[in-house]
Amino acid sequence: MKTVKERNMDMLADHIRGLYRKPDLRQLFLELTLRCNEHCFHCGSNCMPQSGEELSVDEYRRILEEVKEDFDLRRLYLCITGGEPLLRPEFFDILGYAHELGYRWGMTTNATLITREVAHRLAESGMLTVSVSIDGLGETHDRLRGLPGGYDAAMRGIQNLIDEKAFQNVQVTTVVNHENIGELDDLFRVMDGLDIDSWRVINLEPIGRALQWPNRMLTQEDYRRLFSFIREKRLAGYPVEYGCSHYLGPELEGELRDWYWLCNAGIYTASIMANGDVGACLDIERRPETIQGNIREARFRDIWENRFELFREDLSSESEYCRGCSHADHCRGDAHHSWDYDKNEPRLCFKGMLFE
């Protein structure tokens, strides 16, 4: 007899098959710039000089107007990112206009540029949520993110956001790797001393720059330690959660986050990159088959409705690695962002590590 979890995951699998036929855009990411004042070793976007110029303010205004015409803004959330989005000189021109049009929006940032004045302007521009990256205690954070003094600046930025008392969710995100996992307990005490709304703890992903640092990838023991840590804190009532990254198996699914595993790419989520390219999740490797078009050449709605075929079928369906796996219905090949498109297999799979 199937467990409640298994029945729930069966229902989710059926729902996702429906979304492949009729996707439902919920999150639209805008990558305002690839410029950044940090140089994080694990950057998924790689934040290297980009091909093509950044979209102009007028182009963003047109995009925002068209998306408002084509989609229900009550069901859509703008996710602002970079690079460091606050390095875009016209940041408040773009997001102020989005606010005028009625968009709800949040931002991912390193927070080093968030003074009291900036926090106030963010509130005035309608920002509702924010996720700030803290990747270790002071020395570790600065070393991993390549900015001396970055930890202190980020912590000041977090406090400025808290003091503004205007945001629905001030979140901290921590990327855990083999070097900083030993700081989890100390970091917990730091986070518990802040008036943040949630702490999102995720693993280092085998993507972007991190591929150059295999020695920093988590080991099997590290993963078990990480997931036990998150589970323990959640059972104790703390707002700690694992990210949306991977299928965790029948025991841990539903234990480390408030939902069961699904990859949102191309069914709930799309992104417009700094140069106008359109894709799904911004952490997905940027290559011809993952780029679905360019906003300078087509209306976003047309790209969303007529492309994204790659993201609207199970990754496992054509993968030799996944063929015959008893978890394929619930895992579906795992995440697009960590998929090896050359080998047609996942770069990270927890089968054999967390479950059989």
Q: What is the per-residue pLDDT across 57-102, written as a single tens digit (0 to 9) for each?
A: 999 999 999 999 999 999 999 999 999 999 999 999 999 999 999 9
Rounded to a whole number of angstroms, the distance between the first and last alpha carbons of the chain is: 18
Per-position b or e across 143-168, b if 16+ CB within 10 A of its CB: bbbebeebbebbbebbbbbbebebbe
Model confidence over 307-343: pLDDT tens digits? 999 999 999 999 999 999 999 999 999 999 999 999 9
Average pLDDT over residues 231-237: 98
> The pTM is what?
0.95
User: Residue 185 — pLDDT band, cuts 50, 70, 90?
Assistant: very high
Q: Which two tokens stand for residue 137?
A: 């205690």
pLDDT digits (tens, 9 = 90+) for 113-129: 999 999 999 999 999 99
Nearest partner of 30 among 58, 65, 55, judged by Cα: 55
The pLDDT value recorded for residue 47 is 58
What pLDDT is attached to residue 2? 81
Predicted local distance difference test score (pLDDT) of residue 92 = 98
| Cα–Cα distance, 270 to 120 (Å, whole number) | 29
Local structure of residue 48 (DSSP, 8 states): P
CA distances from 161 to 90, 187, 321 (A): 20, 19, 45
3-state secondary structure (DSSP) of residue 288: coil
Residue 301 CA to residue 304 CA, distance in Å, equals: 5
pLDDT value, residue 194: 97
In angstroms, the Cα distances linking 87 to 31, 109, 235, 345 are 12, 10, 39, 36
pLDDT-derived band of residue 46, with 50, 70 and 90 as boundaries? Answer: low
* φ and ψ at residue 210, rounded to 5 degrees: -60, -25
Tokens representing 115? 């003074």
- Classify the phi-psi angles of 222: left when phi > 0, otherwise alpha if psi is within -120 to 50, otherwise beta: alpha
User: Per the structure block, which two tokens stand in for 108?
Assistant: 């991912």
Average pLDDT, the chain: 96
Confidence of residue 288 (pLDDT cuts 50, 70, 90): very high
Query: Any residues with CB less than 8 A from the CB of 330 and at least 6 apart, and which?
Result: 9, 10, 12, 13, 247, 250, 253, 260, 261
Of the pLDDT bands very low, low, confident and very high (cuts 50, 70, 90), residue 52 is: low
pLDDT above 50: residue 254:
yes
Mean pLDDT in residue range 191-214: 96
Asked whether residue 51 carries a pLDDT value surpassing 60, the answer given is no
- Distance CA(103)–CA(127), nearest Å, equals 10
pLDDT at position 112, please? Answer: 98
pLDDT number for residue 44: 77
